[in-house]
């Protein structure tokens, strides 16, 4: 049964530039989903919609049978969804553990020893106590990515959303990140990853392919200047 469903979802910037059109996708818990497509196809926009950071301009997104647009989306992001941003979005003046603790506090969930819980999450992604006590700026890119994943997992959300979680990482670290996300799916979470990586897509249980909407020219001049339709992916 689907946890998140997109029903004829479309999205336009300023009501003019169409990015997405008529998406009918379903995402189930316990599965690793990958969203792939060319640059500019709207992959990150889909992730923002799923995170409740933006609202569709047409159609509807359902979470657990409820219209996401009518829900308390702040509470939804605090408790139900963990997001791994492409740029990490960690607080650089805090340690790795403090970044994770902040998420635990914001969730409002009754976790008695948040410091210990944060350390356990960091250990789960392969960061020991020494690294947990380092400020984020003192960590490598791969280590910061692990902190971002630990933070996303911290409050035990039902959904994990990750935007290019293996971008610019070495092969060994990339494999570790894929294993962490796959393990989260095996634990029953709904894992949704935006990626350009064929390796990540091959590990997914389901792949959703996104194509940019074909532009509709409004004049002969526009028709001459309109870009050609994207070729099917192979």
Res 220: pLDDT: 37
Encode pLDDT of 83-101 as tens digits.
998 888 999 999 999 999 9
Encode pLDDT of 168-181 as tens digits.
677 888 888 889 89
Res 32: pLDDT: 97
Mean pLDDT across 147-164: 93
For the chain, the average pLDDT equals: 88
Of the pLDDT bands very low, low, confident and very high (cuts 50, 70, 90), residue 31 is: very high
Q: Are 166 and 202 in contact (CB under 8 A)?
A: no
Closest to 194 in 3D by CA, of 20, 48, 16: 48
HEC secondary structure over 64-106: CCEEHHHCCHHHHHHHHEEEECCCCCCCCCCEHHHHHHHHHHH
Mean pLDDT across 142-161: 93
Q: Which fold has domain 31-52+73-209?
A: Rossmann fold (3.40.50)
Res 221: pLDDT: 39
Residue 226 has pLDDT above 50, yes or no: no
The encoded tokens of residue 178 equal 């894929």
The span from the CA of 35 to the CA of 119, in Å, is 31
Where are the chain's structural domains? 31-52+73-209
Coil/strand/helix, residue 118: helix
Mean pLDDT across 109-137: 93
Closest to 116 in 3D by CA, of 135, 95, 132, 94: 132
Res 214: pLDDT: 54
Closest to 37 in 3D by CA, of 231, 228, 209: 209
Name beta bridge partners: 160. Answer: 82, 191
Closest to 193 in 3D by CA, of 5, 25, 63, 33: 33
Residue 18 has pLDDT above 60, yes or no: yes
Encode pLDDT of 32-80 as tens digits.
999 999 888 999 999 999 999 999 999 999 999 999 999 999 999 999 9
* % of the chain exceeding 70 in pLDDT: 90
Q: Give pTM, 2 decimals.
A: 0.85
Res 224: pLDDT: 40
């Amino acid at each position: 049964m689907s946890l998140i469903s997109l029903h004829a979802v479309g999205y336009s910037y300023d009501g003019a530039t169409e990015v997405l059109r008529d998406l009918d996708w379903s995402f189930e818990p316990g599965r690793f989903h990958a969203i792939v497509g060319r640059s500019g196809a709207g992959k990150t926009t889909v992730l923002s919609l799923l995170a409740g950071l933006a609202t569709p301009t047409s159609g509807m997104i359902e979470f657990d049978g409820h219209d996401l647009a009518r829900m308390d989306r702040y509470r939804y992001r605090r408790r139900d969804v963990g997001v791994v941003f492409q740029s990490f979005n960690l607080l650089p003046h805090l340690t790795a553990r403090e970044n994770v603790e902040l998420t635990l506090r914001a969730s409002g969930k009754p976790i008695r020893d948040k410091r210990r819980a944060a350390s356990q999450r960091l250990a789960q992604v392969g960061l020991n106590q020494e690294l947990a006590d380092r400020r984020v700026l003192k960590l490598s890119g791969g280590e910061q990515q692990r902190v971002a994943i630990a933070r996303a997992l911290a409050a035990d959300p039902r959904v994990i959303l990750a935007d290019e979680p293996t971008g610019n990482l070495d092969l060994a670290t990339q494999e570790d990140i894929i294993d962490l996300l796959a393990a989260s799916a095996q634990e029953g979470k709904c894992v949704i990853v935006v990626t350009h990586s064929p390796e990540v897509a091959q590990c997914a249980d389901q792949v959703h392919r996104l194509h940019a909407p074909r532009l509709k020219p409004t004049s002969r001049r526009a028709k001459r200047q309109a870009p050609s339709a994207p070729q099917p992916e192979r």
